[in-house]
Amino acid sequence: MLRPFPLLSRVLHWVMAAMVLAMLLIGIAMVGSLTDYHRLVTIHRPLGILVLVLVADLLSSKLRAMIR
């Protein structure tokens, strides 16, 4: 039996899944919308940076766990 991931990791995993999917949808909507382009870009940029930060955090915790 595998040891389950801590609750925080699981929550983060699903939140990030939702964020990445949202990025995909906002991105494709943005490049095809004249009326909402600006509004969508102003969500797309910070959300992408947030995903990047979280992925970096995830990777570093993964690496630390492997070294241990």
Partner 1 sequence: MLTLPSLLRLASIGGVLLIVAASFAWAAGWLAPGRLDQARMIDTFEYVNGLHPGFRRNHAKGVCFTGWFDSNGAGAQISHAPVFQLGRVPVFGRFALGGGMPAMPDGPQAVRSMAVNFTLPDGELWRTGMNDIPVFPVKDAQGFHDQLLATKPDAAGKPNPARVAAFLAAHPEAARAIALIKGVPFSSGFANATYNSLVTFRAIDSDGKRTLMRWSMRADDAFEPEPAKAPADKNYLFDALAARLARGPAQWHLVLIIGQTGDPTDATLPWPADRQAIDAGRLTIETVQTEAADNCRDINFDPLVLPAGIEPSDDALLSARSAAYAVSFTRRAGEKKTPSAVQIDKPGNGG
In angstroms, give the least distance from the CB of 8 to partner 1.
24
| Site membership for partner 1, residue 17 (CB under 8 A) | no
In angstroms, give the least distance from the CB of 13 to partner 1.
15
Distance CA 24, CA 19 (A): 9
Distance CA 15, CA 17 (A): 5
| Site membership for partner 1, residue 31 (CB under 8 A) | yes
| Site membership for partner 1, residue 18 (CB under 8 A) | no
Residue from 5, 11, 13, 37 binding partner 1 (CB under 8 A): 37
SS3 64: helix
| Site membership for partner 1, residue 29 (CB under 8 A) | yes
H-only helix segments in the chain: 7-30, 37-67
